[in-house]
C-alpha cells in the first residue's frame, strides 16, 4: 500500500507558502553560519551539514553531530540530513536523531563525493535502486515527522529520476529536493531545470528546486517555469545571503557594487566572530573561513579573495575584509 501523503500537514513550512531553504553544504553550513543567516535573512528552513552514519552500532553518529541535532534553530525548522549506507545503520541513526530532538529528517541521495567512499553513500546510492527500495519504506516507518530526500537527477543518466518517482511517492516521502545534475557531473555544466519541470509534472510530491540559483530574477523565473513549490539556495546564498531578501521582495533591485561590498564586509566580519565562538583556535577559525571563501565565486572579488585565502592570521584576514570596495 502506498504511504504517500498519509499526513499532509507534516511539511515543515506553511501550506501555500513558497519556502526558501538554505542548502546543506559540508564544511560550510555549520551552526555558526546558519545562526548568522537566521539572524540576518532568516531562511524558511535550514539543514545541517550531512551527518555521516557509521556502520558501527555504538557510534552511529559523531558526538559533534549529536550536539547539532534539534527541531529548530533560532525559531527556524532544522532538517537533519543523514548520509550513509545500509538499511539498519540508517534506520537506527534516524531513531537516534529523533531521540535527540529531530523532527525533520532528510536522506542524502545526491552528494557526488559519496561515490568515492568504500560503501555507496550519497549520490552513489543511485547505482543501487534495490537498496533504496528497501531503505525508503523502512525510514518512513520510523520517522515520525517530515521525511524528505535530496537527490541528483541520476548517477550517470539524467533521466533516472523519472523512473524513481513511483518509489519515492509509494514510500511516503513528504517532499523532494532535486538538483538536476548527475552524480558524475559533480558541479560541472549547468543544472538542467527543464528536467525539474518534467519531474514536477510527473509527480504529486512537492518538489524543491536546487542548483545554480544566483539571482532573484533567476529564482522567480525558475519557480514560474518549473512549478516547483520552493527553492533551495546553496552557493548563491553563501556568496550573497541577501539573495533570500530579494527573492521575497520582487521589487527590490539587485544591489550595485558599493552596496554589495558593504554587505559582504558586514557578513564576513560577523562570520569571523561566529566562527571564533564555535571553533577552537585561530588556525581552525582561519581554515573554516578560507573554506567558505571557496564557494564565493563572484569574479568582482576574486583578486581580494585570493589574498584572503593566503592570509596567515585572523588580523590579516580582517584587514583584507576591510579592503573590499
Q: Where in the sequence numbering do the catalytic residues fall?
A: 111
* 180 in Cβ contact with 150 (< 8 Å): no
The phi and psi torsions of 20 (rounded to 5 degrees) equal: -110, 115
86: closest CA among 127, 126, 134? 134
Q: Where are the alpha helices (DSSP H) in the chain?
A: 31-40, 63-68, 87-99, 129-142, 160-170, 193-202, 216-226, 235-239, 243-248, 257-278, 282-293, 302-309, 314-322
- CA 202 and chain centroid, separation: 23
138, three cell numbers: 523502512
Place of cell 510527473: 202
* 104 in Cβ contact with 78 (< 8 Å): yes
Q: How far apart are CA 222 and CA 249, in angstroms?
A: 16
Angle between the N-to-C axes of helices 129-142 and 160-170, in degrees from 0 to 180, rounded to the nearest 10? 30
* 270 in Cβ contact with 276 (< 8 Å): no
Q: How far apart are CA 11 and CA 233, in angstroms?
A: 18
Amino acid at each position: 500500500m502506498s504511504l504517500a501523503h498519509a499526513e499532509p500537514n507534516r511539511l515543515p513550512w506553511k501550506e501555500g507558502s513558497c519556502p526558501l531553504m538554505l542548502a546543506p553544504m559540508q564544511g560550510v553550513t555549520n551552526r555558526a553560519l546558519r545562526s548568522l543567516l537566521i539572524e540576518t535573512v532568516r531562511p524558511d528552513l535550514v539543514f545541517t551539514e550531512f551527518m555521516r552514519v557509521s556502520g558501527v552500532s555504538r557510534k552511529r553518529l559523531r558526538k559533534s553531530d549529536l550536539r547539532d541535532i534539534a527541531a529548530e534553530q533560532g525559531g527556524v525548522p532544522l532538517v537533519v540530513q543523514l548520509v550513509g549506507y545500509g538499511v539498519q545503520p540508517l534506520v537506527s541513526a534516524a531513531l537516534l536523531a529523533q531521540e535527540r530532538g529531530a523532527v525533520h529528517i532528510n536522506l542524502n541521495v545526491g552528494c557526488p563525493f559519496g561515490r568515492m567512499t568504500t560503501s555507496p553513500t550519497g549520490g552513489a546510492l543511485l547505482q543501487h535502486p534495490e537498496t533504496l527500495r528497501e531503505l525508503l519504506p523502512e525510514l518512513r516507518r520510523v520517522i515520525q515527522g517530515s521525511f524528505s530526500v535530496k537527490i541528483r537527477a541520476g548517477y550517470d543518466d539524467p533521466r533516472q529520476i523519472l523512473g524513481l518517482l513511483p518509489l519515492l511517492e509509494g514510500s511516503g516521502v513528504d517532499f523532494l529536493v532535486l538538483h538536476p545534475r548527475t552524480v558524475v557531473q559533480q558541479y560541472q555544466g549547468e543544472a538542467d531545470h527543464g528536467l525539474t519541470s518534467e519531474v514536477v509534472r510527473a509527480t504529486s510530491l512537492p518538489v524543491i528546486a536546487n542548483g545554480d540559483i544566483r539571482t532573484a530574477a533567476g529564482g522567480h523565473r525558475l519557480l514560474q517555469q518549473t512549478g516547483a513549490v520552493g527553492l533551495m539556495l546553496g552557493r548563491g546564498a553563501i556568496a550573497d545571503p541577501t539573495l533570500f531578501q530579494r527573492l521575497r521582495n520582487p521589487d527590490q533591485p539587485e544591489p550595485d557594487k558599493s552596496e554589495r561590498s558593504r554587505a559582504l564586509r558586514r557578513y564576513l566580519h560577523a562570520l569571523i566572530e561566529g566562527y571564533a565562538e564555535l571553533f577552537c583556535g585561530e588556525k581552525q577559525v582561519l581554515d573554516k573561513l578560507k573554506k567558505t571563501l571557496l564557494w564565493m565565486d563572484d569574479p568582482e572579488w576574486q583578486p581580494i579573495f585570493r589574498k584572503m585565502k593566503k592570509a596567515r592570521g585572523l588580523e590579516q584576514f580582517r584587514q583584507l575584509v576591510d579592503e573590499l570596495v
